[in-house]
Structure 1
Amino acid sequence: MLKYEEIIEYIKNSIKTEKLDHPKKLPSIRFIQNLFHCSAGTVLKAYTKLEQDHIIYSVPKSGYYIINDFHDKSSSKHPIIDFSAVNLNVESFPYKNFQHCLNKSIDLYKEKLFTYSDPRGLKSLITVLSKHIQSYQIFTKSDNIIITSSSQQVLNILSTMPFPNGKSNILVEQPTYYGMIKYLELNNIPVLGINRDFNGIDLDELEKLFKYGNIKFFYTIPRFHNPTGTSYSKQEKQEIIKLAAKYDVYIVEDDIAADLDMNKKNDPMFSYDTSSKVIYLKSYSKVLMPGLRVAALILPELLINKFLEYKRWTDISSPILSQGALEIYIKNGMFDAHMKHLVSLYANRVHSLKSTLLENKHPRINYNIPDSGYFGCLYINGSLKYDKVITELQHKNIKIFDTSECFLKEYKCNNYFRLTISEVNEKQIVKNIPILLEVLNKYID
């Protein structure tokens, strides 16, 4: 074994056994140099390799620190097993590449950083995106694309602004993304619900709501629905679009997990729309980092001017630095390489989740686990002592998301449990899912 490899093994073992003098900080280069009787260059080579493997990170004029410990994930003797987080794990993100793109963005767009930019977004990013999204079977003019400061901003504006159909109610799936629920409730926006379970939605009920419900738009997550993990079939998507055209209802398609779909024939609803009723929304935060705050929106022409008017007085313009970095990241092929890695990583975890559930069947616990995406979902047949479930899981260091937040008040339900795989690996899944199931089974009445 080479000297620098010995140093790497020493550091890794020290982290695992918690034998470092300063738990968050690595020994100085001089200390390791004296310990191993080697040059400073050899120590730097070892530390650089550890940094490339995302085990440590450097702070100028301070030293080297442990990533896992800093983020409070695996440093604890009893780590939290987090089945709730949707955001990308820091260890899964090639931050060095994106840091390069941020630096390049500053160089390219430094003058624009000191002025207000076009509320539509950075034109060069829009040009790149209009070509990039064609791989998702999305073909549109650049003029119909708007860059926003997150998908949440889009939902907020669309919920507030008037629509050409003159209608006022918003229809949402039950359950659905909790951020949408919260905004509608906080702003007293009129909203109706339609049940969506592991079998999808009742299209006859949807038609009645479209016909008599004064529906401005229907907010839907067709692919890897949050929180059930289900996806609409091609026939269901086409039927929903047909009903929208018939009853003059717009559809807001939140395609948050498009990048994680391994089925390249699973086209978005937008690709079937011939009546300009589908508003397409795609976020980049969940597959990159939440702090990026960049989403792409495709609007029918009738809605563009009104949306831009509302957006202009929401944030004037979306941050140029993030947009420029994303443009470079996509244009240089880094995004596609990152997604190839992430799709494989998540697919392995989802497969592990499905296999573990198959091996630990409970008669009153149903589940839906897709082939890829962020998460699967459990459904409890029967009433459940929900508070006791959460309390016992906390004692066992297992964290899950409170899926009751995904329901309107009149639809409240504690029977669903979303299981997200972005913060857990296969080993943690295999070990902790049986524990979770036993706790659930214990408190079913």
Structure 2
Amino acid sequence: MTKYAEILADLERKIQEGHYVSGQKLPSIRHAAKQYACSISTITRAYSELEKRHAAYSIAQSGYYVVDKPGSRSPVTESAKIDFASISPDPSVFPYLDFQHCLNQALDTYKSDLFTCGEAEGLDTLRHTLVSHLAGDQVFSKAERIFVTPGANRALEILAKMPFPNGKSVILVEQPSYDLYLRFLEAEGVPVCGIARTAAGLDLGELEAKFRQGGIKFFYTMPRYHSPLGTSYRADERKAIARLASQYDVYVVEDDYMADLGEDPGTDPVYAYNRTSHVVYLKSFSKIIFPGLRLGAAVIPEKLLETFRTFKRYADTSQLSQAALEVYIKSGMYERHRHKIRASYTARISALTEAVRRHNEAGLLQIPDIRSGVYVPFKLPLTVNLERLTERLAAKEILVVSGKRFYLKEYREREKFLRISIARAQPGQIEQGVREIIEEVRREVGSPY
């Protein structure tokens, strides 16, 4: 990173974290140049860029000031509520100013073209940009096989309803799994069955048996940073899934919605190991940028292309949002933001697991070794009443989610756990929250009712 880029990033961070608050005057150009040990022209360029990004404004013969944004305020004491339930990114890390700049740039570049309905496949220039972007995650595809979707959900719904060339009808899902998709499948009456997945992984022998005998249309899986378990498959497990899909003509729908949040080396997707085009790869940008963006990408195998296109039928995402995302990726802002949010979440995960280590002397909780992502499951003793536990914690303003909701209604081999999300858990509150959870579990274990 160049000196200019380092200074710009540091100034933006200080503004975002409240070191420089709304309306405050920034250090003079001469003082800042001395502070950063650089030339006056470098500081002038950085301040000008802050002004372009609507983070600062200048007053002649006075200097540069932080933009006073609606609702902005100086840092305050954290809320008493400890949120281990929310899965949306922390608003404090949303890239407001960067993305506003990208929206403006997109309007300047494409003008009136952005106000048409667009094509069902998505903005052509964004799809070509995604070719190189996805290649960085070992997902190699032509632009013609990439569809832009409103997050991963729209693609998941289409895939559930459309016929597949293998002529099979049953969807196999991990248990537990993404709760909203499970409820969709049940509500639509789609044939579905489950296979157990724990923190230790899944039984590949059972998976092969289901692939061989179960009439499986596709296997829906989250190999990396699973929701709600937070765990990832080992490389050998991903290779085995890819091999079995080819061997038994079963497709794999790989939901890689949190790929950008990981720091683990050697975590290539299942897609990278399959050589027979039996993997549909899905990615969402909502978890790394902000939920309201509602943009994702689906990489569709050649044999499914025409059917998927027929079922998608129309454009269902904003042209303007797509163009802004294209600018955001090509400018390098996406990569910079990815490193920033990844570091923030990794620090929170580390704080959470360290707090469990300190306060879980009696071993009431079991947690897997998770170092990246958003989720950590707290596996509980069988005697704990989940409903009562969550109610007691809510009374203390500690929000958690019961693991019950992540199973099919008819699935009986369930583990008892809390899904803990660190997405909005403030660093200063994590230890207190963990300590209170363990105390309430201790009360539950000792409760006669």
Are 1:58 and 2:58 matched, yes or no?
A: no
- CA distance 1:124–1:86, change in 2 (3 Å): same
Q: Distance in 1 between matches of 2:290 and 2:438?
A: 31
- 133-142 or 351-360, larger mean C-alpha shift: 133-142
Distance 1:268 1:433 in 2: 32
Contact 1:229 1:369 in 2 (8 A): no
Q: Is the 8 A contact 1:350 1:369 kept in 2?
A: no
Q: Percent identity?
A: 36
* Offset of residue 108 of structure 1: 2.6
**Contact 1:352–1:430 (8 Å) recurs in 2:** yes
Question: What is the CA distance between 1:425 and its match in structure 2?
Answer: 2.6
Q: Is the 8 A contact 2:379 2:417 kept in 1?
A: yes
> Are 1:222 and 1:255, in contact at CA under 8 Å, matched by a contact in 2?
yes
Equivalent residue letter for 1:124 = T
Q: Distance in 2 between matches of 1:233 and 1:9?
A: 42
Secondary structure at 1:263 match in 2: coil
Q: How many Å separate the matches in 2 of 1:289 and 1:84?
A: 17
Deviation at 1:376, TM superposition (A): 1.0
Q: C-alpha distance in 2, partners of 1:213/1:322?
A: 41
User: CA separation in 2, counterparts of 1:95 and 1:432?
Assistant: 29
Q: What RMSD in Å do the two structures reach over aligned CA positions?
A: 2.4
Superposed displacement of residue 264, structure 1 = 3.4
Q: Which residue of 1 aligns with 2:385?
A: 385
Show the counterpart of 2:404. 404
TM-score, normalised via structure 1 length: 0.83
**Is the contact made by 1:403 and 1:416 (CA closer than 8 Å) also made in structure 2?**
yes
- Can you list the C-alpha shifts for 1:390-413, whole angstroms capped at 9, x where unaligned? 111111111112321111012264
Instruction: Write the distance in 1 (CA, Å) between the matches of 2:399 and 2:248.
Output: 43
Taking the TM superposition and a 5 Å limit, the aligned residue runs for 1:69-218 are: 76=79, 79-218=80-219
Which one-letter code corresponds to 2:104 in the other structure?
Answer: N
Deviation at 1:11, TM superposition (A): 8.1
AA at the equivalent of 1:334: M
Say if 2:376 and 2:421, in contact at 8 Å, map to a contact too. Answer: yes
Could you tell me which amino acid in structure 2 is paired with residue 243 of structure 1?
L
SS where residue 297 of structure 1 aligns? Answer: strand
Q: Is 1:343 matched up with 2:338? A: no
Structure 2 residue aligned with 1:36 = none
Structure 1 residue ranges (4+ consecutive) displaced by more than 6 angstroms after TM superposition: 8-12
CA distance in 1, matches of 2:19, 2:227: 41
1:172-321 equivalences in 2 (<5 Å): 172-312=173-313, 315-321=314-320
Q: CA deviation at 1:75?
A: 6.9
Cα distance in 2, alignment partners of residues 45 and 125 from structure 1: 39
Query: Structure 1 214/11 Cα, relative in aligned 2: closer, same or farther at 3 Å?
Result: closer
Distance change (3 Å), C-alpha of 1:435 and 1:121: same
Change (3 A) 1:139 1:9: closer
Quote the Cα distance in structure 2 between the aligned partners of 1:243 and 1:75.
Answer: 49
Amino acid of the structure 1 residue aligned with 2:189: N
Q: Distance in 2 between matches of 1:67 and 1:397?
A: 24
Q: For 2:398 and 2:63, locate their aligned partners in 1 and report how far apart those are by CA, in whole Å.
A: 37
**For 1:370, what is the secondary structure of its paired residue?**
coil
Match of 1:35 in 2: none
Q: Per-residue deviation at 1:246? A: 1.2
Q: In 1, distance between residues paired with 2:165 and 2:419? A: 36
Q: Do the aligned residues in 1 keep the contact of 2:166 with 2:217 (CA within 8 Å)?
A: yes
CA displacement, residues 283-317 of structure 1 (integer Å, 9 cap, x when unaligned): 000111111111011111010111111111xx534
**Change in CA separation of 1:240 and 1:65 when aligned onto 2, cut-off 3 Å:** closer
Question: SS of the counterpart of 1:349?
Answer: helix
- Which moves more between the two structures, 96-105 or 358-367? 358-367
How far off is 1:414 after superposition? 6.6
Structure 1 residues 191 and 364, CA, compared in 2 at 3 Å: closer, same or farther? Answer: same
Distance 1:264 1:432 in 2: 30
Aligned AA for 2:69? S
Whether the 8 Å CA contact 2:151–2:283 is kept in 1: the answer is: no
Contact 2:21 2:74 in 1 (8 A): no
- Report the secondary structure of 2:378's partner residue: strand
435 and 105 in structure 1: CA distance in 2 versus 1, 3 angstrom threshold: same
Alpha-carbon distance between aligned partners in 2 of 1:299 and 1:370, rounded to the nearest angstrom: 30
Query: How many residues were matched structurally?
Result: 392
Shift of residue 109, structure 1, vs aligned partner: 2.9
In structure 1, how many angstroms separate the alpha carbons of the residues matched to 2:83 and 2:369? 17
Runs of 5+ in structure 1 lacking a partner?
A: 13-39, 52-56
